[in-house]
Chains A and B, each alone.
Chain A
Amino acid sequence: DTAVSQTPKYLVTQMGNDKSIKCEQNLGHDTMYWYKQDSKKFLKIMFSYNNKELIINETVPNRFSPKSPDKAHLNLHINSLELGDSAVYFCASSQAGTSGYNEQFFGPGTRLTVL
Chain B
Amino acid sequence: AQSVTQLDSHVSVSEGTPVLLRCNYSSSYSPSLFWYVQHPNKGLQLLLKYTSAATLVKGINGFEAEFKKSETSFHLTKPSAHMSDAAEYFCVVSARGGGGYNKLIFGAGTRLAVHP
Contact = CB atoms under 8 A, between A and B. Distances in A.
Interface in B78-104: 88, 90, 94, 97-104
B56 interface: no
B106 A55 contact: no
Among B88, B97, B102, residue most surrounded by chain A Cβ atoms (within 10 Å): B102
Q: Interface size class for chain A?
A: 20 to 34
Interface in A59-94: 90, 92
A102 interface: yes
Contact of A41 (B43, B51, B103, B109): B109
A98 B108 contact: no
Contacts of B109: 41-43
A75 to B, nearest CB: 18
Contacts of B90: 43
Nearest to A108: B43
A55 B97 contact: yes
Contacts of B102: 97-100, 102
Contacts, number: 70
Contacts of A44: 106
Interface residues of B, number: 28
B34 interface: yes
Interface string A95-115: 001111111111111000000
A41 B6 CA distance: 13
A90 B97 contact: no
Interface in B3-41: 31-32, 34, 36, 38
Contacts of B72: none
A108 B42 contact: yes
B34 A103 contact: yes
Interface in B49-96: 49, 51, 88, 90, 94
A107 B43 contact: yes
A55 B88 CA distance: 29
Q: What are the 10 A-B residue pairs with the smallest beta carbon separation, nearest first? A: A100-B32, A100-B94, A97-B101, A106-B43, A43-B106, A106-B44, A56-B97, A108-B43, A41-B109, A55-B101
Interface of B: 31-32, 34, 36, 38, 42-46, 49, 51, 88, 90, 94, 97-106, 108-109, 111
